[in-house]
Amino acid sequence: MSDPYDAFAACLRDLVAEERMAKAGALTQRFWNEPYTGRWFHVLADRDHPNEITARDVVAVSTLSVTVPARVLVWLLSDTGRDAVTKLLEDIPDGVDLREGAELIAENSALRRLWSLLASACWPEPTAGNGMGRAKISKLLAAKRPCLVPILDSVVCGLCPPVPDYWWAFYKVMSDPNDRLLLSIRLGDQRARGRQPAAPARRHAVDDRPGRGLVGQPLPGRPDRIRGASWRSWLRSFGFAPQRT
């Protein structure tokens, strides 16, 4: 029986084949130069509070065409929710790449426990059917740990073969030097075609003070990192037209 993780890696290699790059570049250029809200995700995410999920993070997630249910939002912004989330985020290092964090995605890790917490987070009582599926949870966590959490939505899962554990599948690809080099080269080429800056020296952050809006402020970033939301926009480029919202 073939290894599903090998099939997953092979699929990603096929998706970045040279013959696909022209179409990918054209679609990426549309994404970064036309009014698609998704390109604001990392701009709006709250990097000032890396160990809290704030209202700014919820707004950022909304640019990716999902809405956090009201009862979940009430819990997240309550003292109880904030304390529970912060306790787990404090045990998940900020700025760590997925390829460097095998122990961070291990069974019963803080990241796995935070995922489970968000899957039932709800006010006034935890609820299994709280409306927070795989796409919403991964997008919310990608706002807090963008280099560690790949976004898993219908685009990504529709292009990649099913695997028992998507986190482990992406880890295996990104920790393989040859696969990582290939993906980095292709993604860098796609960014150039789409005119997306690979790692700007300065980004924008949101100033919550009255009368203030987007302000220039340095935010962490490294040019060799493929961030969570980048997986979504990158994979969408190969065969899926971007959606304007």
What count of other Cβ atoms lies within 10 Å of the Cβ of residue 36? Answer: 18
Compute the distance between CA of residue 15 and CA of residue 145 in angstroms, rounded to an integer. 25
3-state secondary structure of 205: strand
Domain ranges (residues) in the chain: 4-236
Whether the bond between 124 and the residue before it is cis, its omega within 30 degrees of 0, is yes
Say if residue 4's pLDDT is above 60: yes
More confident residue, 228 or 112: 112
Compute the distance between CA of residue 1 and CA of residue 98 in angstroms, rounded to an integer. 27
> Which of 45, 44, 41, 19 lies closest to 31 in space, CA to CA?
41
Compute the distance between CA of residue 25 and CA of residue 100 in angstroms, rounded to an integer. 29
Q: Phi first, then psi: what are they for 217, rounded to 5°?
A: -155, 135
Per-residue tokens: 150: 């790949």
Q: What pLDDT score was predicted for residue 184?
A: 67
Which tens digits make up the pLDDT trace of 80-121? 999 999 999 999 999 888 888 899 999 999 999 999 999 999
Cα 93 to Cα 32, 101, 111: the distances in Å are: 29, 9, 10
Compute the distance between CA of residue 118 and CA of residue 190 in angstroms, rounded to an integer. 33
pLDDT band at 203 (very low <50, low <70, confident <90, very high): very low
Say if residue 223's pLDDT is above 80: no
What count of other Cβ atoms lies within 10 Å of the Cβ of residue 69? Answer: 16
CA–centroid distance for 234 within its chain: 11
Per-residue tokens: 153: 């939505």
Cα 245 to Cα 37, 51, 65, 99, 242: the distances in Å are: 6, 29, 7, 32, 10
Compute the average pLDDT of residues 127-140. Answer: 95
Which tens digits make up the pLDDT trace of 22-54? 777 788 788 888 888 988 998 999 999 999 999
Compute the average pLDDT of residues 184-197. Answer: 53
- What's the mean per-residue pLDDT of the chain? 78
Say if residue 235's pLDDT is above 70: no
Say if residue 198's pLDDT is above 60: no
Q: Among residues of the chain, what percentage have pLDDT more than 70?
A: 73
Compute the average pLDDT of residues 131-155. Answer: 93
Q: Among residues of the chain, what percentage have pLDDT more than 90?
A: 47
Q: What pLDDT score was predicted for residue 222?
A: 35
Describe the crossing of helices 4-15 and 177-194 by its angle, rounded to 10 degrees.
30
Instruction: Specify whether the CB–CB gap between 175 and 102 falls below 8 A.
Output: yes
pLDDT band at 179 (very low <50, low <70, confident <90, very high): confident
More confident residue, 166 or 22: 166
